[in-house]
Chains A and B, each alone.
Chain A
């Protein structure tokens, strides 16, 4: 069992390494993609700095909390897209029958699929998140918590996307719905939750899991709460388990395809 897990991790590491090697084939494109993503994210800091000159608090958040929010959103999104980028194109793979080449390998199908691609610009997002924390609100304990919540956030984003993407096993045109749901989650993750009321707040905490991926961790990093901490950890585990279960249930309905193109892309 332990050897199997070790071998699986070895293959995943190989996969991520080869993905990054592929992206690095063109060094200029690789570096500019990372740098420009960091600059792109940085532009939003200016917007928030201007807003905080006009008002001390926005939605109950101070400038430092907004920076924490932005940093955590960027690094969670980044980590998710560095390691598991293929999850975000899962519906297309299901619809066009591109899972075949992963199903004939003696390894975990889901992990093999998820780790089969990476996004260069996501490296920029990931680095940007940590840079923001180090510049605006550095503290050792906060950095440790930030690193942990980057992992839980990435898992929640990935699991939610996997859950939505797996709908394509049942519904033919579910890829658009899945894409919109994932985008909505990422968009809301960059605004303080205090500005949302009523139905929207309900949506953000119970339907789209941005509340537990980003908002709760920001509150914990501002003032530590054990209950909230374990809620985030527990929710991450539950959502991940649910997403994996739904994927494997759907896989039984997979109908392959005969498109004449590369399985690996």
Chain B
């Protein structure tokens, strides 16, 4: 009896200490862990024309595509991670393995300590998913009816579902169209409803697969603000894939780039910008035509009717030296800016070998 009491007391003390450490930032909980995760698809191959079709009936040929090739990473609680890459890089396949849609061929994944393969249903209570390209809502029902349905799916009592619908309706400003059938909503309104449907059970991890695809800049900005707010207030971990650099730049603090099924870069956004922004863009309007010097570290990108666009590699030439060489005093107007993040990402996509950030 005394021994049991001591055990209970000991566990309580350890639990208290762990909570204290977590609150002080001493412990960071890993919510997503992927360990050598792999997925290979076998795609049928066929030679050209009718002869090829006939041949493929008797001697079918297949080609193995390593969609995800031994990918390992972890994501901490409350993080907002951009998981990006060119088309066919393996982003969606990775998300689908993490959410239990696809079975991995190798390696393993754990989300909040749950194996998606073994305990898919249990995992679904803890995660939310938004696929910008696929509707999860019933088009003929109103958002309200859809939310009621999702409430039933996640075993939320009716009164609690009502309370949450009201709460999210206020945050996501759904009041004006909550009783309009989903099929009559604009794309922006629909995406907001999709996000609410995926948040109704208050997931700890939210997987967003191109949530702003096809939206206008105003709506995009609104959705991004809402995602940020949700991360701040509910401490939801966000795992985002998007081709929109704006989503990545405005939402995420960490960026992971995949190419050909492998992670080629995993850095904080700050670190990425610091190491890749060693190039500056100078845009000038010159009053009279002045020949531009041909110097190492200085590249003329465009020159037309007195409008000049130059790229300066600050690792080779200081920006002050560049301005002196090009005689900036003669310029009517001058702008110095960083290389857009989009260009940096494109450069990383294009690089054939794995990128090593210095």
Contact = CB atoms under 8 A, between A and B. Distances in A.
A7 B124 CA distance: 15
Contacts of A252: 103
A176 interface: no
Interface stretch (B125-133, B283-291, B313-321): B125-133
A104 B92 CA distance: 14
Interface string B125-145: 101010101111111110001
B134 A14 contact: no
Interface stretch (A17-25, A43-51, A53-61, A156-164): A17-25
B131 A100 contact: yes
Given A104-B101, A104-B124, A255-B102, A264 B135 contact: yes
Contacts of A101: 131, 134-136
A256 B102 contact: yes
B121 A263 contact: no
Contacts of A262: 134-135, 139
Interface stretch (B147-155, B165-173, B348-356): B147-155
Given A104-B100, A255-B102, A7 B155 contact: yes
Given A172-B44, A263-B135, A256 B152 contact: no
Given A100-B131, A101-B134, A258-B92, A106 B139 contact: no
Nearest to A261: B134
Contacts of B121: 106-107
B141 A264 contact: no
Contact of B101 (A18, A103, A172): A103
Interface in B255-278: none
A170 to B, nearest CB: 12
Most B-side CB within 10 Å, residue of A254, A261, A262: A262
A255 B135 contact: no
A100 B152 contact: no
Contacts of B154: 106
Nearest to B124: A106
Contacts, number: 82
Most B-side CB within 10 Å, residue of A7, A22, A106: A106
B153 A107 contact: yes
A59 B121 CA distance: 51
A112 to B, nearest CB: 8
Interface in A1-24: 3, 7, 10-11, 14-15, 18, 21-22
A100 B100 CA distance: 9
Most A-side CB within 10 Å, residue of B134, B137, B139, B154: B134
A105 interface: yes
B140 A25 contact: yes
B141 A21 contact: yes
Nearest to A255: B41
A118 to B, nearest CB: 12
A260 B153 contact: no
Contact of B133 (A18, A25, A258): A258
Contacts of A263: 131, 134-136
Nearest to B67: A255
A8 B102 CA distance: 23
Given A18-B149, A256-B96, A264 B101 contact: no
A80 to B, nearest CB: 22
A103 B100 contact: yes
A258 B41 CA distance: 14
A7 B135 CA distance: 24
Nearest to B87: A258
Given A252-B103, A255-B41, A264 B96 contact: no
B283 to A, nearest CB: 38
Contact of A18 (B120, B136, B141): B141
Nearest to B181: A25
B282 to A, nearest CB: 41
Interface in B64-117: 92-93, 96, 99-103
B128 to A, nearest CB: 8
Most B-side CB within 10 Å, residue of A101, A255, A263: A255
A15 B141 CA distance: 11
B138 A264 contact: yes
Contacts of A105: 124, 153
Interface in A206-265: 252, 254-256, 258, 260-264
B338 interface: no
A225 to B, nearest CB: 42
B141 A256 contact: no
A56 to B, nearest CB: 51
Interface of B: 41, 44, 92-93, 96, 99-103, 120-125, 127, 129, 131, 133-141, 145, 148-149, 152-155
Given A100-B134, A256-B92, 9 more contacts: A14-B152, A18-B145, A22-B140, A22-B141, A106-B121, A106-B155, A254-B101, A255-B41, A263-B135
A-B pairs, top 5 by smallest CB distance, nearest first, are A106-B124, A262-B135, A22-B140, A263-B134, A103-B101
Interface of A: 3, 7, 10-11, 14-15, 18, 21-22, 25, 99-101, 103-107, 172, 252, 254-256, 258, 260-264
